[in-house]
Amino acid sequence: MRELTPTEVYDAWQAGEVTIVDVREQDEHDRTSIPEVPLFPMSTLRDHLDELPDGPLVILCRSGVRSAQVAGYLDELGTRVEVANLDGGIIGWANEGLPYEGEPPR
């Protein structure tokens, strides 16, 4: 599984090369989110695999731990050509000064 830095993900996302998918839970997403990033909570992801966006995915969580688990799971399933983990999660994203809405992630 690939690990990408927040800046690498942001640049690829802005270029339309990847789709970011947030796997945090709804309450976390309600507090802090990245505009236009779809939410697929890890707790219910297995029930919604067919709803994931097509193309290369970057998986996002709070710190990068859950997203690494989900990225590994998707790799094992062979559901995507390319799946990567956002190293540092939304905390790393915010620490690099990238755009988000809501309160600072902790």
pLDDT tens digits, the chain, 106 residues: what are they?
799 999 999 999 999 999 999 999 999 999 999 999 999 999 999 999 999 998 899 999 999 999 999 999 998 887 656 899 999 999 999 999 999 999 999 8
Provide the pairing of β-strand 2-4 with 57-60: unpaired
DSSP for residue 50: G
Q: Please, what are the domains in the chain? A: 2-102 (3.40.250.10)
What confidence score (pLDDT) does residue 80 get? 58
Report whether 35 contacts 57 (CB < 8 A). Answer: no
Whole-prediction pTM value? 0.94
- Is 61 designated active site? yes
Could you say which of 59, 61, 70, 86 is catalytic?
61
Quick: pLDDT tens for 36-66: 999 999 999 999 999 999 889 999 999 999 9
Chain-centroid distance, C-alpha 40: 9
DSSP for residue 104: P
φ/ψ of 71, rounded to 5, equals -60, -45
